[in-house]
Amino acid sequence: MGHLVFSYGSNLNSADLLRYTREHNLPPVAPKKVCNAKLKNHLLCWTTFSKARQCGVLNVELSKDNEVWGTVFELSDEELAVFDRKEGHPNHYVRTPVCVSDDDNHCLNVETYIAPPCMETAYSYPSENYLNTVLDGMREQQLPEKYINEFSLRSPIIDLKVFDGKCTKRTAIYSGRGAKGKTLCYWQKIYKQHDLGQFDILYSHLFTEEKLASYDLLILPGGDSKEICYGLGDRGKCIVREYLQNGGRLLGVCAGAYATTHQINTYLGVSPFVIADYSHAHRGEALINLSFTPKGQKLFGITDEISTVPILYHNGPTVAEASIDKCSDLEILAAFDEELMIPDCCKIMKGSPAAWMNRYGNGRVYAVSPHIERTEGKEHLMANFIKSIISEQ
């Protein structure tokens, strides 16, 4: 008998295996299927990033009372070598001994590919193409339909382009280096629940002037501002500025708001601000009261008489106004109503802008320092804000 390997993810898809061998001038593989099986006390997760696919890819992690369904293949030495190369064994994934159970609950000692801790990330967002490759492979191997449906329902980008609502606007959200996948899930939920139109995941290598021009709004989400800007690269940042020059709309939140400023030359420099007390920029996480201006109340849909609202803050930018070419018509939408202090930092937060809008060329820049989209019970305020942005002429 050859090598028994428990496969999950894209390795269930014969067309994807054929694509890989063709692209790398390798002999085609046709592994012999032994059976479908389940890996108990494990769960499929998005904790690995593939440079080849430029998106998050599946891994398995320990998870009590959960199970991962896959297919056991019998591989020859040559076929195992192809699988090892495809999975980056032993660096990206490690071929690891595990015990799986078949339909009759018989235990099979096999190997599977698991990413080592050094290759794991907190969350890596998949591409639609990769997710469809996985789902097609699951159906090809005839995994249990209930399992496929459950995986589909908890997958992060299912039905992002399918909306029954009336809104026909299109939004792109940056994903890739520096963008935190869990933050993207909050945005997905808001778009699904509030009829905000089509919502596309856009990796930096997809940024082109023609591509961005088709969107009514571009979102730079939370994460790491420097990494987001490195992920965009000089070319991507130029394309974003051109998008704004031609009338586009950009919304930066937390790290995305940092990225709009002119603090360092790697940032976009499309908002007339620098970071105040840059050496103590990270002030922690807390619910902080924001005072909304009349313009802010209108755009965020705050209709009651109370203009002060507690919002989740997590190391968002505290800014000071600066003169920047091509920026004009600055309007403050909300200000911090209190301080969040760490040792040795300056008292500069209270009264400083927490949300603002300005023109850049013919376009509009919107920035929000705290996470309204993540604040329990206040998510609708961000939905109102987006509706205001995409409906603005």
Summarised one tens digit per residue, pLDDT across range 201-231 is 777 767 888 889 989 999 999 988 988 998 8
Q: Could you give the CA distance from residue 153 to residue 159 in angstroms, rounded to a whole number?
A: 9
Q: Which CATH number fits domain 3-153: 3.90.650.10, 3.30.460.80, 3.10.490.10, 3.40.50.2000?
A: 3.10.490.10
Summarised one tens digit per residue, pLDDT across range 169-206 is 889 898 877 886 567 778 888 888 888 888 887 777 67
pLDDT recorded at residue 197: 86
Q: Per-residue pLDDT for 156 more than 70?
A: no
Q: Per-residue pLDDT for 56 more than 50?
A: yes
Q: Looking at per-residue confidence, does 344 or 95 come out higher?
A: 95
pLDDT recorded at residue 158: 46
Q: Per-residue pLDDT for 160 more than 60?
A: no
Parse the chain into domains and list their residue ranges: 3-153, 170-391
pLDDT recorded at residue 314: 92
Question: Residue-wise over 61-79: b if at least 16 C-beta within 10 A, else e?
Answer: eeeeeebbbbbbbbbeeeb
DSSP H or E segment with residue 259: helix 255-260
Longest distance between any two alpha carbons in the chain, whole Å? 75
pLDDT recorded at residue 231: 86
pLDDT recorded at residue 127: 77
Q: Per-residue pLDDT for 142 more than 60?
A: yes
High-pLDDT (> 90) share of the chain, %: 55
Closest CA to 374 of 226, 223, 196: 223
Give me the residues paired with residue 335 across strands.
291, 353
Q: Per-residue pLDDT for 49 more than 80?
A: yes
Domain 170-391, architecture per CATH: 3-Layer(aba) Sandwich (3.40)
pLDDT recorded at residue 168: 81
Q: Per-residue pLDDT for 73 more than 90?
A: yes
| Residue 87 near residue 93, CB atoms below 8 Å | yes
pLDDT recorded at residue 203: 72
pLDDT recorded at residue 120: 61
Q: What is the mean pLDDT of the chain?
A: 88
DSSP H or E segment with residue 218: strand 217-220
pLDDT recorded at residue 163: 46
